[in-house]
Amino acid sequence: MNVQPLKGFGAFDAILQKGKRFTVGPIGLTVLVTPSAPCTHLEFGVAIGKKTARHAVVRSRVRRLLRVALRTTLRTYGDRLSELGITAIIVIWRKPVARPSSIRLADVQPHVQRAFDQMLATLSQRGGAQ
């Protein structure tokens, strides 16, 4: 599966409007499902709001950690995501972080993993894009 960052004007907004949302702990996960044949590429994006972390240094660190956690998780679930027709994923961090040193990959990875587990379980039950 070819994994690429989400790019383009309005790409985030389009996925946030059309996609299915899942919230697990501090993670908001939005996925865009296309019910056609299995997908060969996947676009992803990560975000954290200014209200969640006031300082740019903190937001940048959380974004980097989210990207690493997301790529690690995508290696594990890539084939399953392709089977379900998922073409885009956005991960949003919603828990306040005061200092960059107060958050580590070990704090982020389990939340991303649980969000993916819940999303896959829900979509598998529904039969994908229904």
pLDDT digits (tens, 9 = 90+) for 25-50: 999 999 999 877 667 789 999 999 99
- Helix, strand or coil, per DSSP, at residue 48: strand
CATH architecture of 15-119: 2-Layer Sandwich (3.30)
Q: Is residue 116 predicted with pLDDT exceeding 70?
A: yes
For 74-97, write each residue's pLDDT tens digit. 999 988 998 889 999 999 999 999
Q: Please state the separation of Cα 68 from the chain's center in Å.
A: 11
Residue boundaries of the structural domains of the chain: 15-119
Q: Which of 14, 20, 43 is nearest to 33 (CA)?
A: 20
The backbone torsions φ and ψ at residue 127, rounded to the nearest 5 degrees and listed phi first, read 80, 30
Confidence band (pLDDT; 50, 70, 90) for 8? Answer: confident
